[in-house]
Amino acid sequence: MNIAPFEYHAPRTIEEAVALLNNGGKKAFAMAGGTDLLIKARQKIVRPAIVVALKKIKGLNRIAVDEDQGLTIGATALLSEVAAHPLILERYPAVAEAAAGTANVQIRNMGTVVGNLCNASPSADNAPTLVAMEACLHIAGPDGSRTLPLQDFFKGPGLTALNTAEIVTAVQVPPPPPNAGTSYRSLSARGAVDCAAVCVAAMVIVNNKRLQKVRLCVGACASTPVRTPQAETLLAGKTLSEKRLAAAADQASRETLPISDVRASSAYRRRVVSVLVRRAVVRAVERAQPSNTA
Amino acid sequence: MKHDIHLTVNGDRHHIAVDPRRTLNEVLREDLNLTGTKLGCGSGDCGACTVMVDGRAVSSCLTLAVEVDGSDILTIEGLAPSGEKLHPIQAAFVEKGAVQCGFCTPGMAMSAAYLLSQNPCPDEREIREGLSGNLCRCTGYTKIVAAIQSAAEHMQGGSEGDEGR
């Protein structure tokens, strides 16, 4: 077992879950799939005295695609469900790509997109795409509910903007504007199975061959997923040329601060950021102009 | 505090009192003596502990038993329902020589069963993706992939084989 004893609760409502977390304070942990929490508990990185399982809360696993509201992924919706959802594949392909690129088959059948965000690993596969698409989080807590742009959620490795007893109940992605395209690209030692050494998401809006808007987000190259605003500026309002793309990709690399670790060296990561930014932008532009591809 | 849970494992119903820290892997191996399911890395990387919970392949080492209360669980022991005739996946592993030390084999077979339940005729790339959460440390995966291809063909033909449950 190798874990100190904890109380286990499986409340039926969000209110109950928040109350349990509130009573438990800092020693209480919310659990969705448990794939991160259990490993951290075994490694004594966290010492939960109370575990509040979210799985039994009705409707929290909801995935909804709506013309006005966009895409809503509930806290307990599985990675495998998001990766295979027909409407997500059709309208939010990069969201599905990121979910499909997370961990392995078994973990995707247990873990959740929202859990991947809340674990706040700098290399979280699902973060870059959702940040690039301007997703926001729905958060429930003792003082009621609030929404927060995902970009403001990450505070460092394992650290988020969540206050004690708050739960992320869903992540919501606004409907993609007309002529928008998104893409997610990652690189790791063991294919998609491993933690990403570098991951990049791009969202573009293309009008008359001009990149009206560009949003880039790089994961695993700083203490949180980061936007690279100067690289975005190099592309925004311009037509896409090989030279501009190369300049923007190199700029994106300069805007990251990767460390060297077991997965890759800092210098290698910088090089890979540049490569993946190019690939992600090219693919996003193709998706924004479906008639020009094929 | 222990929790009372009900599990249906390979068709048999069990009523067990579990400490919430206990994993499904521990309950299967230690309480139910179903030791076909292995424990490898204990962190969801190696796939040796793969079982199906309500039709989905999961890592039993990262699944708390209390979390699967009420679920239907299939382990390697239940893959061939009759207990006499091998499941086509098991038969193909034997026929193609896809077993060396055998430690990864139950997990491989369960991942293969899940893959074929989702995608009855996968190509080689899809098979390799389906096994991406399972490690074999003896040698390569060539014969394992060949066995799954063979099993898929057999199950498509489908007249004689046990199709699992």
Give percent helix, percent strand, percent coil of chain B, each to the nearest 5.
40, 15, 45
Chain B residue numbers with beta carbons less than 8 Å from the beta carbon of A37 are none
Banded model confidence at residue A291, pLDDT cuts 50, 70, 90: low
Q: Which residue of chain A comes nearest to B47, CA vs CA?
A: A106
Q: Give the count of beta carbons closer than 10 Å to the beta carbon of residue A70.
A: 19
Rounded mean pLDDT of B5-10? Answer: 98
Report the pLDDT value the prediction gives residue B4, as an integer from 0 to 100: 97
What homologous superfamily does CATH list for B88-157? Answer: [2Fe-2S]-binding domain (1.10.150.120)
Banded model confidence at residue B163, pLDDT cuts 50, 70, 90: very low
- Of B22, B62, B111, which is closest to A34 when you measure between CB atoms? B62
Question: Is the CB of A1 less than 8 angstroms away from the CB of B21?
Answer: yes
Banded model confidence at residue A190, pLDDT cuts 50, 70, 90: low
Chain B residue numbers with beta carbons less than 8 Å from the beta carbon of A6 are 20-21
Rounded mean pLDDT of B137-145? Answer: 91
- Of B42, B64, B133, which is closest to A104 when you measure between CB atoms? B133
Contact A161, A141 (CB under 8 A): no
Question: Is the CB of A191 less than 8 angstroms away from the CB of B62?
Answer: no
- Of B19, B22, B44, which is closest to A106 when you measure between CB atoms? B44
Nearest to A80 by CA among A72, A88, A91: A88
CA-CA-CA-CA dihedral for B136, A187, A109, A1, to nearest 10: 60
Domains present along chain A, CATH in parentheses: 7-53 (3.30.43.10), 63-173 (3.30.465.10), 180-289 (3.30.390.50)
pLDDT in tens, B70-106: 999 999 999 998 778 999 999 999 999 999 999 999 9
Chain A residue numbers with beta carbons less than 8 Å from the beta carbon of B3 are 8
pLDDT at A292 over 60: no
- Of A5, A42, A105, which is closest to B57 when you measure between CB atoms? A105
Banded model confidence at residue B160, pLDDT cuts 50, 70, 90: very low
- Is the ipTM above a cut-off of 0.85? yes
Report the pLDDT value the prediction gives residue A44, as an integer from 0 to 100: 94
pLDDT at B143 over 90: yes
pLDDT in tens, A40-83: 999 999 999 999 999 999 999 999 999 999 999 999 999 999 99
Q: What are phi and psi of A185, to 5 degrees?
A: -135, 135
Cα distances (Å, whole numbers) of residue A155 to A6, A111, A149: 27, 22, 13
Contact A75, A269 (CB under 8 A): no
Banded model confidence at residue A249, pLDDT cuts 50, 70, 90: very high
Nearest to A167 by CA among A9, A5, A12, A32: A32
Report the pLDDT value the prediction gives residue B161, as an integer from 0 to 100: 44
Question: Is the CB of B22 less than 8 angstroms away from the CB of A1?
Answer: yes
Percent of chain A exceeding pLDDT 70 equals: 96
Q: In this structure, what token pair is assigned to residue B1?
A: 């505090």
Question: Is the CB of B19 less than 8 angstroms away from the CB of A5?
Answer: yes
**Shortest Cα–Cα distance, A1 to chain B (Å):** 6
Q: What are phi and psi of A236, to 5 degrees?
A: -65, 135
Rounded mean pLDDT of A5-29? Answer: 97
d(CA A116, CA A150): 13
Q: Are strands B56-59 and B50-53 parallel, antiparallel or unpaired?
A: antiparallel
**Residue showing tokens 């659990």:** A31
Distance of CA B66 to the CA centre of its chain: 20
- Of B62, B64, B132, which is closest to A193 when you measure between CB atoms? B132
pLDDT at B158 over 50: yes
Chain B residue numbers with beta carbons less than 8 Å from the beta carbon of A38 are 23, 62, 64
Domain regions of chain B by residue span: 3-77, 88-157
Contact A173, A95 (CB under 8 A): yes
d(CA A216, CA A232): 7
Name the more confident of B157 and B164.
B157
Chain B residue numbers with beta carbons less than 8 Å from the beta carbon of A109 are 56-58
Question: Is the CB of B132 less than 8 angstroms away from the CB of A104?
Answer: yes
Banded model confidence at residue B31, pLDDT cuts 50, 70, 90: very high
Q: Give the count of beta carbons closer than 10 Å to the beta carbon of residue B13.
A: 9
Chain B residue numbers with beta carbons less than 8 Å from the beta carbon of A61 are none
**Shortest Cα–Cα distance, A242 to chain B (Å):** 32
Residue A195 in contact with partner chain B when CB distance is under 8 A: no
Banded model confidence at residue A293, pLDDT cuts 50, 70, 90: very low
Banded model confidence at residue A1, pLDDT cuts 50, 70, 90: low
Q: In this structure, what token pair is assigned to residue B24?
A: 């499904």
What residues does A70 pair with on adjacent strands?
A: A66
Report the pLDDT value the prediction gives residue A87, as an integer from 0 to 100: 97
Report the pLDDT value the prediction gives residue B165, as an integer from 0 to 100: 41
Chain B residue numbers with beta carbons less than 8 Å from the beta carbon of A76 are none
Report the pLDDT value the prediction gives residue A134, as an integer from 0 to 100: 97
Residue A262 in contact with partner chain B when CB distance is under 8 A: no
Cα distances (Å, whole numbers) of residue A56 to A15, A46, A51, A75, B25: 13, 23, 13, 11, 21
Q: What is the CATH T-level fold of the domain B3-77, as seen in this structure?
A: Ubiquitin-like (UB roll) (3.10.20)
pLDDT at B59 over 70: yes
Question: Is the CB of A103 less than 8 angstroms away from the CB of B111?
Answer: no
pLDDT at A195 over 80: no
pLDDT in tens, A277-287: 999 999 999 99
Common-topology check for domains B3-77 and B88-157: no
Q: Sort B95 into a burial class: Cβ within 10 Å, 0-12 / 13-18 / 19+.
A: middle
d(CA A47, CA A75): 22
